[in-house]
Amino acid sequence: MFGKRIRLFKILGFEIRIDWSWFVILALVVWSLAGGVFPAELPGHTTGAYILMGLVAALAFFASIVVHELCHSLVARRYGLTMEGITLFIFGGVSEMAEEPPNPKTEFLMAVAGPISSFVIGFVAVALSVLADGPAKAAPVFVTLRWIGFINIVLGAMNLVPGYPLDGGRVLRSILWHFKGNLRWATRMASYAGEGFGLLLIALGAISILMGGGIGGMWDILIGWFLVTAARQGYQQVLVKQMLQGEPVQRIMTAEPVTVPPSLSLQDLVENYIYRYHFKMFPVVEGDRLAGCVTTRDVREVPRADWAMRTVGEAAGRCTDGAVIEAGADAMAALTKMARTGASRLMVVDGGRLLGIVSLKDLMAFLARKLELEGESPAGNGL
């Protein structure tokens, strides 16, 4: 979902990051507030004052989104789930879970925690602005506070729309999961609702543009497109996890992988292995023991004139944890490691012995066959 992210800080053990797209929405919110909202509510101030108010309000709004996501994450941690951090991006924020909730109760409590926090922030901010005496109500701080309160109430309400992956969609999924006892089916139904809501927003946005709505209509279309995409991806992720979890990686791996001995010259490695098999990495094996790994990068660091005289054992390095997986792991663990490290092949080991290699291609082929046998479409939803 995200490109390059910037790490901001850590709070309560959760890393807060921003995606580059966050700067786009920050600029748009400041521009909208400074150019329209605040001048209409509080006339007579300078452009600089409106920009400052807009910047303060926008940052406060994004701080409230962090609080919203923190509440999700705290509940998840309370029930033993691993959270990989919080990322702010163009459409708000997201708490990144490494795994699905273990039961409907946990899903429900996680889902409602965020909107509740938004409503609390919203009503408190509005109440403070309303309770201000006389002329103070028109002071920049109270006008800003009133907007922050209003936008948080809207945020809480929007998130309760029963369409996955919105919080309301997760509430719907938890209810369906509770009564049906089937997470995959519940996710499919909730994601259908999310796609439907997204398509409705796209249609409303198109109508708004045709009627002169301009920027507002474009935002409806963008948000609708994001919801449709996120709903489909959310279902696909659950589907993949359920298909691969519990499947032993030994069942999928290539049991007799191409290996090289430490005594092999780098010239032979290049000519007879790299150019023949097109792999970037080869396991170095002595007997049945994994002695190390040699990569194209290792070879490149040796002058070409020395390739015939240098051996694989001299150039090879220790295999990193990101390049190996234990034989007892399941296929989902292998896919997760590949996604985290960027590796396309993992060596399957057992007590230092190399048993085989599992590749991303192997995992995808196994997944495709299993989906086919169970009557599922790899593409996920489609209305």
Same domain assignment for residues 59 and 156 = yes
Same domain assignment for residues 315 and 357 = yes
Same domain assignment for residues 205 and 76 = no
Map residue 345 onto helix, strand or coil: strand
Lay out the sheet containing 92-97: strands in order across: 5-11, 14-19, 83-89, 92-97
pLDDT at 208: 86
* Partners of 330 in beta bridges: 248
The reply to whether 175 falls in a domain is no
DSSP string over 174-232:
HHHHHHH--HHHHHHHHHHHHHHHHHHHHHHHHHHHHTT-THHHHHHHHHHHHHHHHHH
Same domain assignment for residues 217 and 272 = no
The reply to whether 382 falls in a domain is no
178: nearest Cα among 73, 108, 75: 108
Tens of pLDDT along 320-372? 887 889 988 888 888 888 887 878 888 898 888 888 889 888 898 888 888 88
Same domain assignment for residues 275 and 218 = no
CB 20 within 8 A of CB 4: yes
Domain boundary among 197, 221, 244: 244
The reply to whether 205 falls in a domain is yes
Domain boundary among 229, 244, 259: 244
CB 115 within 8 A of CB 64: no
The reply to whether 41 falls in a domain is yes
Same domain assignment for residues 194 and 80 = no
The number of folded domains in the chain is 3
Same domain assignment for residues 83 and 142 = yes
Same domain assignment for residues 239 and 262 = no
Same domain assignment for residues 236 and 322 = no
Q: How far from the centroid of its chain's Cα atoms is residue 320's Cα?
A: 25
Q: Is 99 a catalytic residue?
A: no
Catalytic residue among 69, 96, 99, 256: 69
Same domain assignment for residues 215 and 323 = no
The reply to whether 169 falls in a domain is no
The reply to whether 170 falls in a domain is no
Task: State the residue range of the domain holding 200.
Answer: 181-244
- Reported pTM: 0.75
Tens of pLDDT along 44-75? 778 888 888 889 888 888 899 999 999 999 99
Task: List, for the chain, all residue ranges whose pLDDT scores fall below the cut of 70.
Answer: 1-4, 91, 132-138, 213-215, 375-383
CA 129 – CA 123 distance, rounded (Å): 10
pLDDT at 200: 93
Q: What is the CATH number of the domain that holds 301?
A: 3.10.580.10
The reply to whether 190 falls in a domain is yes
Same domain assignment for residues 287 and 234 = no
The reply to whether 381 falls in a domain is no
Same domain assignment for residues 259 and 299 = yes
Domain boundary among 94, 129, 160: 160
CA 230 – CA 222 distance, rounded (Å): 12
